[in-house]
Amino acid sequence: MQQTEIIHKAGDMSYELLISANAVDNLNIDVGTGDRDGFIYFHQKFGMPYKFLLRKSIESGHFLFVSVSENNKLIGFARFEKLEEHTEKEIKGKMKIVTPSLFLLRSMEIHSAFRNCGIGRVLFSTAVYYLKGNVLTSPDNPEAASFFRKKLGFSEVTGPVGSSGQKYEGHLMLTYPKALTLWHEIATKYPRIVYPELVDLYESLKFRHSMGKAISCNDISRFEILLAGCSGMLSDAMQDDMQYLMTKLRKGVSCNA
């Protein structure tokens, strides 16, 4: 049985959906203390072992997304519960989604040594892009509420939600259209975190080209493949700059096999 599904790779960082509870046993989890970085919230507030929490999440049918680095070191996780399935309606002979699926973000935590550098936003945007639905959350402190509003685009719930028309007072929601565009926004703001290999290679090629140094066809081909893989996700300016460099490299005479 498949234990994980890799959704996105960024250098040595992998963003994955854990499918099997057994996959949790393979995670290397740092538990933080007052003078040591790691995961702290659930350990301090509830005295709950993290592997127990994450295993129970999967066993309960929740979606568990993680960011892991080398040696399966856990960098962050986000737990989602599906509250409602999407509804469809036939329109002009084709089935169209009328009401998107509805998910509740139950919790999200980033290793304390990796906070405030964009990894949490990449993890969340990867998850909601995969889920393709409306996302609710109920922050338990003002700082968390501010993060969801200002950094991720959530807004107050002001009326009935979903096909059931239930009211979720005190909740924030990220609607389905915003959830799909969030990945592009994150990639635009944090290209080095989302596409580190592409950015590093682009800067190396740009420098070598400006210095008149020979560039191998293998490097140009790799640049072309990486650039094609993120088409439409980067800012227009960066996309244009990279495409311009690609054109110059392809036309140049310094391509040595």
Confidence of residue 212 (pLDDT cuts 50, 70, 90): confident
The sheet with strand 101-110 has its strands ordered as 4-10, 13-18, 63-68, 74-84, 101-110, 133-137, 172-174, 155-156
Q: Distance of CA 149 to CAs 4, 57, 156, 210, 211, Å? A: 30, 25, 9, 42, 45
Instruction: Answer whether residue 168 shows pLDDT above 80.
Output: yes
Domains of the chain: 4-194 (3.40.630.30), 196-256 (no CATH)
- Residue type for position 233: M
Confidence of residue 255 (pLDDT cuts 50, 70, 90): low
Looking at residue 68, its pLDDT comes to 96
Q: Distance of CA 41 to CAs 97, 99, 124, 133, 231, Å? A: 37, 34, 18, 27, 38
- Residue type for position 100: P
Looking at residue 60, its pLDDT comes to 95
Largest CA distance in the chain: 65
